[in-house]
Amino acid sequence: MTDKRRLFPSIEKALIFIVLAAVFLSSGTSRLQRPSAPGGVEQLDGWYYLQDGQRVDVDLPCSITLDGGADLVLYNDSFSSVHASTLTTRGAVYRLQILLGDQVLYAYEDSDFPRNEQMRSKLYCTASILGGPEDQPLALVYQNPGDGHFHLSAVYLGSSSAVFRWQASSDIFTFVMVFTMLLMGIIALGIHIYLSVIHMPDPRFANVACFLFICATWCTLDSSLIQQLTNMSPSVCYISFYAFMTLAIPMIHFVRNTGEMGRFRSLNVCLLLFYLNVVVQTLLDYFGVCSFIDTLLITHLLLAAGIGLITVLMLKEYARTHHREIKVTLIAFAILATGGLLAILLYWLLEIPYYGAIFEIGILIYIICLLSSLVTTMAANLRFKAEAIIYQRLSQEDRLTGLANRRGFEKYLTTLETGSDSYNNIALIFMDLNGLKYVNDQFGHNVGDELIIAAARCIETAFSEMGTCYRIGGDEFAAILPDPVGSAEDWRKRLEDAIRLYNQDARHRLSIACGASLLRDEAGRSKRLSDWKYEADQAMYACKRQQKEYQATEFSSASQGREGKPYGI
């Protein structure tokens, strides 16, 4: 409970910091959109237009109102085109043309992909002005928007590289946001892959990553700089629109994967509507009925309706469960809804071109809320799984030797009842420590435990590379070898070598009886598990009897003064 109480103040502080940073960056972005004297680029002055045959001087940027619905033509006679230069300004909203004398240097066209005023107002109109006669007047032709009101931006002149740097700086906020989205998306995708590898999949991390990658695509392609670099390619515009139309899809999947939200069928309907929106708009544009820009309002309405529906459903779910994840997700969607609503108001009512920055800030805060909740849940789940793994390991591990215990042994045999077909054969080796009772009685249980541990290490040395070793009783051991190499005699030899190496420096000599059995007979038929274990057990007792006879012979030889043979198993 304490951790949860600490979590939310931390989130609130982080959100406050992000909002302040976003406001600061937004104000910086606004200044970048209208710099007075950017480095390497100079503002071109000396503009005028003709009204009733009279020259009217203007200082850009400014607003001009003309009567009669005529186009506005600005002239500049003081411009010198001796040196190659690049001229740039914002005027696409008025379908700007840039002329040098009778030569058209630039003319805005969007016939391949129509744009509305808000989209055009973000674009730069850039023309390369090569050296030529100095008496050629420079003219900017602005098409009348219908009401005669012109809001003109300043005109800048500089080398192509300097102009490019300036245009890039005006989109710096967008690219910082895109970089942040991509970074967070990669982190979310990495967490999703990691959780899948450890068999704790949480598809919501993949949903967040998909959403961030789509957002980054939309923000990048919608920026004025990318539009400029791609020469306002229709393909770039189409991809940008498809990205915007599919923004909500991964987030609806996210909500469906949260708690028990998947039980709401209305989310499936909402998801279907977004898919239909993409298909229908594509068909309408393809057959020339209407363009994407004409149906953009439908996508905005769908987004607003989708966020509203999700908010209502999550309020209903939170009232039922009071689950922390639902609460955090609800807060996140409220932030996203606020940012989206502000962006839509700026876009449609105020026709401000910087609507995207507000939406991007909302997206960033929204994602941080979701990821903070997901990471907290993931940490709790990982801790729970680690504890469960430790408990399971302890429950199937012999504490004295570190080998798997009888429970692990029986569990593995249970899996063989259905999974033995994946092996050509499996060997079962039963082993028994000789003389443990005598050692316990004569030297104490500490020495007996030492002998048990020594037996476990010898058994591991002999068989751990080939299979799994178990301690299944006080002095009883077993090994299971899938697809074993060698014969029963070879396996006894491996164990004998390990015991002989230990006995060279041991205080108490170690002796182990062992017997082996194969799961399949010579014809390849599988034996019943009970018969398999019985055969191994009988082979072990046969070995134990043989060892006792050998020890008796060795003792008799030694009593007659003859040299005894080396002690074996």
Please give the pLDDT value at position 354. Answer: 55
Pairing of strands 476-482, 468-471: antiparallel
Going through 59-206 in order, the beta strands assigned E by DSSP cover 62-65, 72-76, 85-89, 97-100, 103-107, 125-129, 138-142, 149-152, 156-158
Please give the pLDDT value at position 199. Answer: 82
Task: Please tell me what DSSP assigns to residue 397.
Answer: B
Cis check for the bond before 482: say yes or no (omega within 30 of 0).
no
Please give the pLDDT value at position 10. Answer: 53
Q: Report which of 303, 291, 365 is spatially closest to residue 328, judged by C-alpha positions.
A: 365
What share of residues in the chain are helix, strand, coil (percent, to 5)?
A: 60, 15, 25
Residues of the chain whose pLDDT is less than 70? 1-39, 80-84, 131-135, 339-360, 385, 388-389, 551-569
pLDDT tens figures, 103-152? 899 999 887 888 877 778 888 899 988 755 556 788 999 999 888 889 89
Please give the pLDDT value at position 118. Answer: 73
The answer to whether the beta carbons of residues 432 and 478 sit under 8 Å apart is no
The answer to whether the beta carbons of residues 416 and 410 sit under 8 Å apart is no
Please give the pLDDT value at position 311. Answer: 85
Residue 417 to residue 423: CA distance in whole angstroms:
12
Tokens standing for 162? 């300097």
Q: Which residues, including other chains, have CB under 8 Å from residue 428's CB and lie 6 or more apart?
A: 478, 479, 480, 481, 516, 517, 518, 519, 532, 533, 536
User: Cα torsion at 313, 316, 319, 323 (round to 10°)?
Assistant: -30
φ, ψ of residue 153 to 5 degrees: the values are -90, 165
The answer to whether the beta carbons of residues 514 and 569 sit under 8 Å apart is yes
pLDDT tens figures, 71-106? 999 999 877 654 558 899 988 889 999 998 888 999
* 49, β-bridge pairs: 56
Coil, helix or strand at residue 331: helix
Q: Which residues, including other chains, have CB under 8 Å from residue 271's CB and lie 6 or more apart?
A: 249, 252, 253, 256
Q: Report which of 298, 288, 353 is spatially closest to residue 114, judged by C-alpha positions.
A: 288
Please give the pLDDT value at position 81. Answer: 54
Residue 179 to residue 171: CA distance in whole angstroms:
12
Please give the pLDDT value at position 32. Answer: 36
Please give the pLDDT value at position 134. Answer: 58
The answer to whether the beta carbons of residues 137 and 77 sit under 8 Å apart is yes
Please give the domain boundaries of the chain with CATH numbers for all domains.
Answer: 2-34+169-388 (1.20.1070), 41-158 (2.60.120.260), 421-559 (3.30.70.270)
DSSP string of 221-287, one letter each residue: HTSHHHHHHTTS-HHHHHHHHHHHHTTHHHHHHHHHTSTTGGG-HHHHHHHHHHHHHHHHHHHHHHT
Please give the pLDDT value at position 507. Answer: 83
Tokens standing for 21? 């940073």
Going through 52-94 in order, the beta strands assigned E by DSSP cover 54-58, 62-65, 72-76, 85-89
Q: Which residues, including other chains, have CB under 8 Å from residue 180's CB and lie 6 or more apart?
A: 364
Please give the pLDDT value at position 342. Answer: 66
Radius of gyration from C-alpha coordinates of the chain: 40
Tokens standing for 44? 């071109």
Residue 387 to residue 391: CA distance in whole angstroms:
6
Residue 533 to residue 416: CA distance in whole angstroms:
13
Residue indicated by tokens 């199937």: 396
Residue indicated by tokens 């600490």: 6
Please give the pLDDT value at position 369. Answer: 74
Please give the pLDDT value at position 552. Answer: 59
